[in-house]
Amino acid sequence: MYIDTGKGKMPVRYGWNAYAKFGDLTGKSMDEVLGLDLKTMKPSEILTFIYVGFLIGAKHEGEECKVKDIDEVGNMLDEDPSIMSRMMEVYQDDGKSDGDGKKK
């Protein structure tokens, strides 16, 4: 899925590669990654989670990621706070499958 940002339309993807990357970057276990709750996440973890969505989305689409790090994600959110809600929508949509890889 693509979302509009100040940097143009950017691909976003959440799935096993994103979970693994987020776990690697934050030191969280898979159990912690699968049970993520925005209310209990540190702000830097939220920025990392958004960054990973952009990073894996670009990789999946064969593009270069336009976001270089979590500081840039923070700057993007300062300019357009609605990016956070759009990223969470993608996360929720990517997590809805019927078990065989097909979306419901």
Residue 81 maps to a domain: yes
Please report whether residue 102 resides in a domain: no
Judge whether 45 lies within some domain: yes
In a domain, 104, yes or no: no
Residue 96 exposure: Cα atoms within 13 Å on the Cβ side: 8
The yes-or-no verdict on residue 79 having pLDDT over 50 is yes
- Which pLDDT tens digit goes with each residue over 1-19? 999 998 999 999 999 999 9
**pLDDT exceeds 60 at position 104:** no
How many domains does the chain divide into?
1
Instruction: Report yes or no on 103 lying in a domain.
Output: no
- Among the residue ranges 4-8, 58-62, 74-78, 100-104, the one predicted with the least confidence is 100-104
Percent of the chain at pLDDT above 70?
A: 90
Return all residues near 45 (Cβ < 8 A) that are at least 6 apart. 26
Predicted local confidence at residue 17, as pLDDT: 94
Task: Give CA–CA dist 69/48, Å, rounded.
Answer: 8
Residues 77-103: what's their mean pLDDT? 75
What pLDDT is recorded for position 35?
Answer: 86
Strands (E) in 1-104, as ranges, are 2-5, 8-11
For residue 36, being part of any structural domain is answered with: yes
pLDDT digits (tens, 9 = 90+) for 44-62: 999 999 999 999 999 999 9
- Residue 95 is predicted with a pLDDT of 66
